[in-house]
Amino acid sequence: MICNMYVVVKIGSALLVNKDGSLNKKMLEHIIKGLKYLQGMGKKPILVSSGAVAAGGQKYVFKKLSKGVKAAIGQPMLLNEYSNIAQRHSLITAQYLLSKDDLSDRKRYIYLQSALEEATRHGIVPIINDNDILHGVKKSFSDNDQLACYLGIMLHAEKVLLLTSVDGIYNDFGTEKQKKIEVITKLEEFETIQTDQKTEFGTGGMKGKIESIRLAMQCGIDVYVGHGSDNSIFSSLFDDTGRNAKPYTKIVGLSGAEKKPIKGIQKWLFAGAEPKGEIQISEEGGNKLRNSIVRKSVLIKGVEQVFGQFSKGDVISVIDKNFEQIGYGVVKMDAAEIRSQKGEENIIVIHANYFLVTA
């Protein structure tokens, strides 16, 4: 059974690889100790770890290698080090290499959810990375921050910890006026944050990080952006006394009416599913979907345009007259059927149980 004892920890390449390309074994030890600490607190830790491409690339620094080959070289190097250190701390780890297709396909999503639940139930710590070995032939996550937050949403995690080389999120970063943000409690607070910060924030940058954090926050998950090198980073997650300065910015998961009431297939639609096409609906239909207290089905009567080719059972996006997204849903008809039957009465295109309003 999925429960909120999960803590998803993400660490980036900048912390794991030294300037000469060698793995930072001191940092790896620190991370393993932190995962062991979380287990001791009764939590189920999951690690999302970068570092394979950086380590593999430096191993053959004078050769021009593709990202996929670098990952293939670096991944066993990284996992061997994690495994050796974990064994010294009586910890068992398991490797999972994922692509975005593993989350966008509903059957694979459910299987992955079950596999992670089984591993953690037996005290095994999954170590997960984007499968860069297949770089260029599969859909990739924007960065491992997105992967970590998607996994947090999948498992209804208690916390997601994004470890970086900076002790949190700052306003006016890199200027004399820079000031660390200690706590974020509202989505609107992200609007004032500079998103082009040039820091050690990996491939997605601050903008990508914030987009992923907002998703987790809306699902009621607490997210922490903190300094991976800080010795107290793991223990401070459970220190609510307020007496000590924290090595992170805490983003408090929404609750009550602000929290998205999603579960099951709608959770997958929110963070995982990839739309195969779009339908544009009338202004009246869009207003009903957005403003209704109870979930409503999308009816063919309100469909005005169909974009793309998709099949029955695919996920599609529903947009309004201004091309603004209303939500995602699993379609009951293929694109050709919808085009040929537009304007008819009482035909459901997306059932309410398989539709999620996102805006």
pLDDT score of 203: 47
Count the neighbouring beta carbons within 10 Å of the beta carbon of residue 120.
21
pLDDT in tens, 52-82: 888 777 766 656 888 888 888 888 989 999 9
Mean pLDDT across the stretch 312-326?
Answer: 95
Please determine, for residue 349, whether its predicted confidence score (pLDDT) is greater than 80: yes
Count of positions (residues) in the chain: 359
pLDDT in tens, 251-302: 999 988 788 778 789 889 988 899 999 999 999 999 999 988 788 999 999 9
Domains parsed from the chain with CATH numbers: 6-258 (3.40.1160.10), 275-357 (2.30.130.10)
Query: In this structure, are strands 248-251 and 222-227 parallel, antiparallel, or unpaired?
Result: antiparallel
Please determine, for residue 119, whether its predicted confidence score (pLDDT) is greater than 70: yes
CA distance 111 to 202: 29
Which long-range contacts (C-beta less than 8 Å, at least 24 apart) are formed by 202-211? Answer: 202/12, 202/13, 202/14, 202/50, 202/143, 202/144, 202/145, 203/142, 203/143, 204/142, 204/143, 204/145, 204/146, 206/169, 208/142, 208/143, 208/145, 208/146, 209/143, 209/145, 209/162, 211/142, 211/146
Count the neighbouring beta carbons within 10 Å of the beta carbon of residue 122.
8
Mean pLDDT across the stretch 174-189?
Answer: 88
Mean pLDDT across the stretch 223-237?
Answer: 94
Q: Which residues pair with 23 in a beta bridge?
A: 17
pLDDT score of 82: 96
Supply 338's token pair. Answer: 């919808």
| Mean pLDDT, the chain, integer | 88
Nearest Cα residue to 80 out of 68, 93, 71, 70:
93
Residue 88 or 77, more confident: 88
Mean pLDDT across the stretch 199-215?
Answer: 69
pLDDT score of 120: 97
- pTM beyond 0.85: the answer is yes
Supply 114's token pair. Answer: 């079950």
